[in-house]
Amino acid sequence: MTGKVKKFIEEQKLLESERPDSNTRIIAGLSGGADSVVLLYILHRAGYECLAAHCNFHLRGAESDRDEQFARELTASWNIPFFKQDFPTRTVASGRGISIEMAARDLRYEWFEQLREEQHAHAVAVAHHRDDSIETVLLNLIRGTGIKGLTGIKPKNGNIIRPLLCVSKKEILQFAGKESLPYITDSSNLQDEYLRNKIRLTLIPLMQSIDPAFDTSLLRTMENLGETEKIYDEYIAKAKEKVFHPVEKTIDIPALQALASPEPVLFEILKDYGFGPDRIRNVAAAINSQPGKEFYSSGYLLVKDRTRFLLSSLEQKDGKNSYEISENRNEIRQPLPLRFTFEPVSGKFEIIKDAKTACFDADKLQFPLRLRKWEKGDRFVPFGINGFQKLSDYFNNHKFSKPQKKETWLLCSGDDIIWIVGHRTDNRYKVNDGTKRVCVFKLF
């Protein structure tokens, strides 16, 4: 099975390096159950530098502490560094207004990523296997889902990798027995209490009694839908370019109505802003309604205008309206996803004519630059004009709505506004014949 997992890692390109070696550092989630023990064992034996990470959610009393002690002793016997974190899971679930299961999941992945950054690891490996992927599809089918929910768990999602998705639970247990690997059993997994456990313990055995090849058939269907998802993603990407303006946060209603199926496109846009499926269906139903209708998510307001939907964020909890950008960085993600590069000028520099891109004479910039919201009395010199203009006049002339004004970010050098991000740069910082270096900003 070790060879099968190694081949899966290579085929799915789960790691930057195709060959396992001691320079590839992996955080391996270790609960103490058979799945996580086998995962750690295979990765360690394959030659990766493994660090074990254990979460104590304190949900099962003495059993939770038993799991932690087992994981600690196991990693010591294998000479693998051990890290553990305690979580007040019930308190967090109550504070965030989510289920205990969801709180445990969020806390787990938040800590894994923090640990990965601190330890300079290449990836975080978790022990989801083929049966978990089948259960997830059935769970999504029961709750209601789109095509993405029927393709199963992804082998790689950002820095999270799942090397055991190529094997079944039965194979894992057989391998653990063959290699005499110790592991513990979480008693909650044997209880018919949670929906996922009901699927595992009741629904899947029932389906297998109807058709012994149920697993194989469903996996084949998931693979087919995975290929269909690629076509779907390509269509959605092109459709979003036509209807959604991410800088202004507006959705063009006539362009949306011209699409073959507007609702899936709305879903793929609005889900990133915290809107759920039911709320998005209401938005779709309001396409032909009168202007002024409002829809809320936890962090955003969507307003129906005459020809557009307007998105605006609700008040930020941290109240932060200013962000610094140091010269030694090349990318930021808050409050906007921006990349910037310095390019030497040799000959004539070709200005990029794109609202998402801004070019400046680098030697005129005063770092750190600053992103902030607009304030009363702000003014700048619009590109192509020699005199100052008030931002309030610029906004009015270009028919900015109130939500758009609120959402607009300004890039500043010292006290000067050099870019109304996504709209207009300042003429004083333009690239000219005397420019030796250009600083190029791009929204992505």
- Structural domain contains residue 382: yes
**pLDDT value, residue 262:** 93
DSSP code, position 47: T
Residue 21's pLDDT is 52
Instruction: For residues 75 and 137, state if they share a domain.
Output: yes
pLDDT at 121 over 90: yes
Which residue, of 292, 313, 334, is where some domain finishes? 313
Structure tokens at 289: 């309604």
For range 234-260, the mean pLDDT: 92
Residue 78 pLDDT greater than 90, yes or no: yes
Q: Is residue 270 part of a domain?
A: yes
Percent of the chain at pLDDT exceeding 70: 94
Average pLDDT rounded to a whole number, residues 263-274: 91
**Least confident stretch, 183-187, 230-234, 306-310, 392-396:** 183-187
- Indicate which CATH number applies to the domain containing 373: 3.50.40.10
One domain for residues 329 and 297? no
Task: Check whether residue 37 and residue 109 sit in a common domain.
Answer: yes
With 80 as the cut, is the pLDDT of residue 306 above it? yes
pTM, rounded to two decimals: 0.64
Q: How far is CA 119 from CA 145, 344, 369, 393, in A?
A: 37, 35, 30, 50
Residue pLDDT, tens place only, 194-222: 678 889 889 999 999 999 999 999 999 99
pLDDT grade for 320, boundaries at 50, 70 and 90: low
Does residue 182 carry a pLDDT above 80? Answer: yes
**Residues 269 and 149 placed together within one structural domain of the fold:** no
State yes or no: pLDDT of 247 exceeds 70: yes
- Indicate whether 274 belongs to any domain: yes
DSSP character at residue 260? S
Q: Say if residue 16 is in the same domain as residue 103.
A: yes
Of the candidates 313, 332, 366, which is a domain's last residue? Answer: 313
Tell me: pLDDT of 6 over 80: yes
237 assigned to some structural domain: no
pLDDT at 318: 45
CATH number at residue 41: 3.40.50.620
How many independent structural domains does the chain possess? Answer: 3
Confidence band of 61 (pLDDT split at 50, 70, 90): confident
- The answer to the question of residue 194 being in a domain is yes
Which of 261, 285, 313 finishes a domain? 313
Q: What is the average per-residue pLDDT within 104-129?
A: 93
Indicate whether 288 pLDDT > 60.
yes
Whether residues 40 and 176 fall in one domain: yes
CA distances from 317 to 12, 270, 302, 347 (A): 40, 21, 19, 48
Lowest mean pLDDT among 7-16, 97-106, 225-234, 434-443: 97-106
Residue 191 pLDDT > 80: no
> Residue 165 above 90 pLDDT?
yes
Instruction: Judge whether residue 362 has pLDDT over 80.
Output: yes
CB atoms within 10 A of CB 356: 14
Clarify whether residues 268 and 296 are in a common domain: yes
Average pLDDT on 252-267 reads 94
Give pLDDT tens digits for 400-420: 877 788 788 999 999 899 999
Looking at residue 156, its pLDDT comes to: 93
Same domain, yes or no: 49 and 178: yes
Question: What is the pLDDT of the chain when averaged over all its residues?
Answer: 88
Task: Note whether 191 and 293 are same-domain residues.
Answer: no
Q: Report the alpha-carbon distance of residue 261 to residue 277 in Å, rounded.
A: 15
Considering the domain boundaries, does residue 233 fall inside one? no
Spatial separation of the C-alpha atoms in residues 251 and 263, rounded to whole Å: 12
Q: Is residue 235 part of a domain?
A: no
| Residues 22, 128 within the same domain | yes
C-beta separation of 28 from 53 below 8 A:
yes
* Residue 377 and residue 300 share a domain: no
Mean pLDDT of 46-73: 92
The answer to whether residues 274 and 342 belong to one domain is no
What is the predicted pLDDT for the residue at 187?
Answer: 63
* Percentage of the residues of the chain whose pLDDT score is greater than 90: 59
What is the model's pLDDT at position 317?
41
Read off the pLDDT band of 263 (50, 70, 90): very high
Q: According to the per-residue pLDDT averaged within each range, which of 292-301, 321-330, 339-348, 364-373 is highest?
A: 364-373
Report how far apart, in Å, the C-alpha atoms of 365 and of each of 332, 353, 373, 384, 418 are: 18, 21, 19, 19, 9
Range of the domain at 165: 2-215
CATH number at residue 276: 3.30.465
Please measure the distance between the N-terminal and C-terminal CA atoms of the chain and give it in whole angstroms: 41
Phi, psi of 438 (to 5 degrees): -115, 135
Q: Is residue 221 part of a domain?
A: no
